[in-house]
Homo-oligomer: A and B are copies of this chain.
Amino acid sequence: MPLKNTNIVSAAQTKFGKLEGVTQREMFSEAVDKATIEAGIPKKDIQAAFIGSFIPEMLIHQGHSAPLLTDFAGLKGIPATRHEAACASGATALRAGVMAIESGMYDTVLVAGVEKMTSSTTPEVTEALAAAADDQFESSIGLTFPGVFAIAAVAHMNKYGTTEEDMARVAVKAHKNASTNPLAHFQKPITLEQALKPLVIAWPLKIFDCSPISDGAAALVLTSNEKTKQYTDLPVKIIGSGQASDSMNLCDRTDLTTFSASVDASRAAYKMAGLTAKDMDFAIVHDCFSIAEIIASEDIGFFEPGKGAKALRDGVTALDGDRPINPMGGLKAVGHPVGATGVKQVVVAYRELIGDAGPNQVPNHDTAVVHNFGGTGATCVITVMRRGDV
């Protein structure tokens, strides 16, 4: 049964990138201001906040961020909770917001995500991010995230013949799309030759196969049907929401060319929406590494297993292709402030759906699927959205 009562009435993000001198609370506050007062929604209307943030404890020695952030953003007093699922933190906060509305306990809530990363050194960030894998069995013996996705890449190459060039094409597409997105960390197109430069991080992944370390925040306002008219004539409805988990350990998996949490969460979300992958006009997927986009495009049912690279090669997933994926540039080029990402993905889908994506507008934009993915793929959240007037 599709969700019936949850609407997105505004959506905003800060610029993603190395935001020097801007603190976590300042970025958060900027995103909230854009999604509330600048969108004509008084802050006093916000009844509760659900916030995604991955690892501020290790990066800026700040836990218990939710009340701190809401206080700073002019929302003092409201219930404010932080949700954490590594890189899927943002989408778990969204799901909490969806349940808050669907339960009837609230009718106007804020969903936001934030991460301040660039004030830490790269080794500090790598160490912090490694906490998203199993410390007892894998990360403590040296498996960091480029390594995790390199293993998946090798498995995919071996089983399906996917090549380093295919992966490089994910980066080329991402940088091309982001070149017209002023909120992106990188706004410069790159060539296939540049993407293939042997600056190896963890073979076969090279520097351009990896999303960057970024700062940023994103925010959404969700309302019940009754409240929606008050704020907009063109809401976006969340009609399906699925979440699934998997073992944290790669060593407990039977297949490294697919992520079962993505497959299971997609099925649950499509089923709830009463739709299939074929009904989706475009997708936003979690391309933390280039191979992750290829695998996700298969896991969410856009392409058969092993056919993702070919679809990409053939331009099917390009901005002007039949099934656009990451039309504004994805994590790869827009940046990946971890806790913000899952919310920013929905901001992008919202903008595309209401036709507000400027040079990055996809041609068909009635329905979208958003794929947010945590750690080694141990969490996946899928959101199915539809423009409210369809």
Contacts and interface: CB of A to CB of B under 8 A. Distances in A.
Nearest to A264: B77
Interface stretch (A128-136, A312-320, A345-353): A128-136
Contacts of A247: 67, 71, 76
B63 A54 contact: yes
A115 to B, nearest CB: 12
A93 to B, nearest CB: 9
A99 interface: yes
A102 interface: yes
Contacts of A68: 134, 248, 378
A264 B77 CA distance: 8
Interface stretch (A78-86, A158-166, A215-223, A281-289): A78-86
B92 A81 contact: yes
A104 B6 CA distance: 13
B84 A64 contact: yes
A246 interface: yes
Contacts of A243: 48, 79, 81
B85 A246 contact: no
A183 B103 CA distance: 35
Nearest to A53: B84
A255 interface: no
A66 interface: yes
B135 A80 contact: no
A102 to B, nearest CB: 4
A247 B260 CA distance: 41
A60 interface: yes
Contact of A248 (B67, B99, B100): B67
A130 B62 CA distance: 8
Interface string A84-104: 111000001001101110111
A321 to B, nearest CB: 32
A61 interface: yes
A80 B139 CA distance: 21
Contacts of A80: 245, 379
Interface in A234-254: 241-248, 252
B378 A64 contact: yes
Given A62-B131, A67-B85, A98-B103, 11 more contacts: A61-B131, A63-B131, A64-B86, A67-B245, A68-B248, A71-B246, A71-B247, A79-B265, A82-B84, A99-B99, A103-B103
Q: Which 5 A-B pairs have the closest CB atoms?
A: A79-B243, A102-B103, A67-B245, A63-B131, A67-B378
23 contacts: A23-B136, A57-B57, A60-B135, A63-B84, A63-B131, A63-B375, A64-B84, A64-B85, A64-B86, A64-B131, A64-B248, A66-B379, A67-B248, A67-B261, A67-B374, A68-B134, A71-B378, A79-B95, A79-B245, A80-B379, A81-B243, A83-B84, A96-B96
